[in-house]
């Protein structure tokens, strides 16, 4: 069929077996050997290729993370893209943001990162950028429809394949803009993820002293899960920072697009407080700029941005949704509670944990105080990490729909852009459905223990009124 140029008359066998559930809100993600296989990856490549050819786009960069299944998934994906006539530049095993960078640097405009992100080792997936747009929602659903309906013509001319090592260009681009004013000593924990090789090299290139922890890439993640938003995954990093007498600990997630930070005293600096620091810095050079943050972020963030002359905007959680909103509003900076940071100022607007780490060190190195003191100067409150309630597939969104209809929070300002967030003068609570796993995600923050207990009790009462069988972690 590859040589004939004719579109298949109907979906091939594997197309009929493609699971709808892997086409998620922000990307495509599934369990290898169950919902994801090389055949499925090839079909996804063909679907993306068909979309590109319709838009007159010919070139795409493909990178992959360090998961055990990623080489096979990438090979099949590339085969599918080339079947559609797309020319592929394989940038090899790189963090997701480096694949995004390749799309800019090589003037391709499009990229796919083969990655399971921070999911368990048996997961894998695809983060897709076509002509500068990160596919989400309807665009991802359309890929599924293309596969099921067989709308994936095989091109007469098979696409070319090129291999490029992009890592050095990425480091040079950042190091040419960022050189820190004084040497800071940092420990980097990559959680055995793909950022383990480039992350330390980048930070050394900008002038930091770097000690590594779990930076050998190992797709079985033998030491801890590569998710820096969970405080338990940072325990080894805290000990390593204290042993080394380092200024700071930096943790990356499995594909390097998120950043976690711990201080010498062992405190986790939540991403919404890091965003305050980044916002103040960006606003010095860009007064009035729009700063976007997701619904899980601190109630103190909007006021902090306003006091520094910026325009705060709360938006839905999800890397692709945030990027779309940044384009729409021409925001200079955005951040999520999960540790995604998006710099438009001096960078390209995509989420990049490695670049965010470099910008953080740049800011801290200009300050005479110790990093611990810099963080202590930021507004703080009592807050919980993300709390999760596990459910069956499909249940969380149905629960949230009913919750938004039925829950009443006296005296609170309620937002329903993503789940339900209720803000009182002294605290707030949020419950939303995760778009990556079948769980409800909750977070609470307040100015006192008493207020925190009151906010949590209000949510507990409202949630149990809807489903009395829920086991709530608060």
Task: Kindly state the tokens that stand for 112.
Answer: 């796919």
Residue 422's alpha-carbon distances to 178, 306, 332, 439, in angstroms, are 40, 21, 27, 19
Angle between helices 195-205 and 167-175 (to 10 degrees): 30
Whole-angstrom distance, CA of residue 431 vs CA of residue 460: 11
Q: What is the DSSP string of 210-256?
A: EEEES-S--TT--SS-S-TTSGGGGHHHHHHHHHHT-SEEEEE-TTS
How, if at all, do strands 111-114 and 123-130 pair?
A: antiparallel
Nearest CA to 418 out of 25, 4, 21 is that of 25
3-state SS class at 68: coil
Nearest CA to 121 out of 217, 264, 200, 237 is that of 217
Whole-angstrom distance, CA of residue 147 vs CA of residue 163: 27
The string over 241-274, giving b where at least 16 C-beta atoms fall within 10 Å of a residue's C-beta and e elsewhere, is bbebebbbbbbbbbbbbbbbbbbbeeebbbbbbb
Count Cβ atoms within 10 A of the Cβ of residue 172 and give its class: 0-12 exposed, 13-18 middle, 19 or more buried.
exposed
Contact 108, 61 (CB under 8 A): yes
Contact 203, 358 (CB under 8 A): yes
- The residue whose two tokens read 């260009």 is 169
Q: What is the DSSP string of 87-100?
A: EEEEEEE--HHHHH
Q: Which stretches of 244-399 are assigned E, i.e. beta strand?
A: 248-252, 259-263, 268-269, 290-294, 311-315, 333-335, 341-343, 382-383, 387-390
Contact 152, 7 (CB under 8 A): yes
Whole-angstrom distance, CA of residue 94 vs CA of residue 194: 6
The string over 384-407, giving b where at least 16 C-beta atoms fall within 10 Å of a residue's C-beta and e elsewhere, is eeebebebeeebbbebbeebeeeb
Nearest CA to 195 out of 240, 261, 127, 255 is that of 255
Task: Kindly state the tokens that stand for 67.
Answer: 């998961």
Query: Which amino acids are annotated catalytic?
Result: 29, 117, 340
């Amino acid at each position: 069929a590859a040589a004939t140029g004719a579109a298949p008359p109907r979906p091939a066998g594997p197309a009929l077996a493609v699971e709808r559930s892997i086409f998620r809100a922000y990307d495509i993600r599934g369990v290898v050997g169950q919902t994801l296989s090389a055949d499925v990856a090839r079909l996804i490549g063909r679907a993306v290729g068909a979309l590109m050819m319709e838009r007159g786009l010919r070139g795409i960069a493909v990178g992959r993370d360090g998961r055990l299944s990623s080489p096979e998934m990438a090979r099949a994906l590339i085969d599918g893209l080339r079947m559609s006539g797309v020319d592929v530049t394989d940038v090899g095993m790189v963090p997701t943001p480096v694949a995004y960078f390749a799309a800019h640097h090589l003037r391709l405009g499009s990229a796919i990162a083969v990655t399971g992100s921070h999911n368990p080792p048996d997961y894998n997936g695809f983060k897709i950028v076509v002509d500068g747009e990160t596919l989400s929602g309807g665009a991802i659903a359309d890929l599924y429809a293309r596969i099921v309906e067989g709308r994936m013509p095989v091109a007469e001319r098979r696409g070319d394949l090129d291999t490029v090592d992009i890592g050095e260009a990425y480091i040079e681009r950042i190091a040419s803009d960022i050189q820190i004013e004084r040497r800071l000593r940092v420990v980097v924990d990559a959680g055995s993820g793909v950022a383990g090789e480039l992350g330390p090299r980048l930070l050394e290139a900008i002038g930091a002293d770097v000690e590594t922890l779990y930076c050998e890439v190992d797709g079985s993640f033998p030491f801890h899960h590569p998710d820096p938003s969970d405080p338990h995954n940072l325990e080894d990093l805290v000990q390593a920072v204290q042993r080394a007498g380092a200024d700071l600990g930096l943790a990356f997630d499995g594909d390097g697009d998120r950043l976690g930070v711990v201080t010498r005293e062992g405190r986790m600096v939540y991403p919404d407080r890091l965003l305050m620091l980044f916002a103040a810095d960006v606003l010095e050079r860009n007064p009035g700029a729009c700063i976007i943050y997701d619904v899980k972020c601190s109630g103190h963030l909007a006021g902090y941005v306003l006091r520094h002359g910026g325009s705060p905007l709360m938006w839905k959680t999800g890397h692709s949704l945030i990027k779309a909103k940044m384009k729409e509003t021409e925001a200079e900076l955005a951040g999520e509670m999960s540790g995604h940071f998006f710099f438009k100022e001096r960078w390209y607007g995509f989420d990049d944990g490695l670049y965010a780490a470099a910008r953080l060190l740049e800011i801290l190195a200009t300050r005479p105080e110790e990093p611990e003191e810099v963080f202590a100067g930021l507004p703080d409150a009592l807050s919980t990490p993300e709390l999760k309630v596990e459910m069956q597939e499909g249940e969380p969104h149905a629960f949230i729909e009913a919750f938004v209809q039925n829950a009443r929070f006296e005296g609170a300002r309620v937002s329903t852009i993503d789940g339900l967030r209720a803000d009182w003068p002294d605290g707030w609570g949020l419950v939303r459905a995760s778009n990556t796993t079948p769980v409800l995600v909750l977070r609470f923050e307040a100015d006192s223990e008493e207020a925190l207990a009151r906010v949590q009790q209000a949510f507990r009462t409202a949630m149990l009124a809807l489903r009395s069988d829920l086991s709530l972690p608060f």
